[in-house]
Amino acid sequence: MDIRPHPFRRTLRLRTAVAALLLLAAGAAQAAALAPFNASYRASYLGMQANGSMTLARDGNRWKYSLNIRNQVADLSQNTVFDEHQGRLRPLSSSDRSVALIKRKSVQASYDWNAGQATWSGDVKSERRGPVALQPGDMDALLINLAVVRDVADGKPLNYRMVDEGRVKAMSYEVAGREQITVAGRARQATKVVRRDDDRETLAWIVPGMPVPARILQREGGKDTIDLTLQSVN
C-alpha cells in the first residue's frame, strides 16, 4: 500500500527519525576528543531540495549541538546542550522547533542528573511530560548519534537507551560493511551503519577522518524520504 503521510506529520518525526539518522556526527572518526565544527549538507526532503546544517560549539565545559533543515514546506531546528561525564555524552537540556505550512511545534527538555529525572514542556502531551527516571548512559536522539560515530571507530556494540520526549526506547545500530562513496568529487571508503525500526530504515556512511557523516539516508515503506549529502565541513 502506498501511504503518503501529510508533510507536517513527517516533519514531526524528524525528532527521532532525522535526529537518530541525520545526526550521526560530531565525534572524531578515531575516537578523538570532541572538537567544534560547522557542516553543510545538500538535502532532499519530501521530494524537494532542502538545505541542512549541523554545528558543534563549546561553551565552557559544555557543548551545544545544533541541527537545521529547511525547504519550501518545512523548517526544523534542534539544539542539545550536553557535557562529557565519565566518558559519556550526557544531555542537560534541549529545544526542538518545527514549522510546516501553518503547523508549529516547540518542545523543551530538561535532564536533571542530580534529581535523576528528565522532564519536557511546550507542545507535548501531558503523558509525555515526565518525569522519566534517568540511568547512567541515557542520551537523547542527538547524542546517541554522536556516540555511534565514536563507537564505530572503536568497534564497540552500537546499543543505546534513548530518553526523549517522555519515552524510553532501546536503539541499536549495526555495521553493514564498507562502501565507496563520493565526497566533494573524491572517492572515499566509508563504513555504512544501519538501523531498522518497523517500516523505517536509516543509513549513514561514516568516512574515517571526517567529523560528520558523508551521507545520511532515511527510508519509509521502502521509499527514500530524506537524503543528505555532505557539501563542506570545517
pLDDT in tens, 159-214: 999 999 999 999 999 999 999 988 878 899 999 999 998 888 989 888 887 878 88
pLDDT computed for residue 150 by the predictor: 82
Quote the pLDDT of residue 166.
Answer: 93
Residue 3 contacts residue 185 (beta carbons within 8 Å) = no
DSSP-derived 3-state class of residue 51: strand
Cα–Cα nearest to 107, from 89, 125, 90: 125
Average pLDDT over residues 28-48: 74
- As a whole number, mean pLDDT of residues 140-165 equals 86
What's the average model confidence in pLDDT over 70-83?
A: 89
Q: What is the pLDDT of residue 72?
A: 80
Residue-level pLDDT at 19? 53
Q: Would you say residue 17 has pLDDT above 80?
A: no
Q: Is 157 exposed, middle or buried (0-12, 13-18, 19+ CB in 10 A)?
A: exposed
Locate 35 and state its grid cell.
572538537
Triad 179, 183, 186: Cα angle to 5°: 90
The pLDDT of residue 191: 93
Q: 226: closest CA among 47, 74, 73? A: 47
* Average pLDDT value over all residues in the chain: 83
Instruction: Find, among 189, 213, 212, 193, the residue nearest to 202 by Cα.
Output: 193
Q: How many whole angstroms separate alpha carbon 148 and alpha carbon 201?
A: 16
Return the SS3 of 127: helix
Nearest to 40 by CA among 25, 51, 56, 28: 51
Comparing 105-109, 129-133, 176-180, 215-219, the range with the smallest average pLDDT is 215-219
- Residue with the bigger pLDDT between 221 and 62: it is 62
Reduce the DSSP state of residue 230 to 3 states and report it.
Answer: strand
| Of 14, 77, 57, nearest in space to 211 by CA | 57
d(CA 61, CA 141): 21
* Range in 33-42, 111-120, 209-218 the model is least confident about: 209-218
pLDDT of residue 62 exceeding 90, the answer is: yes
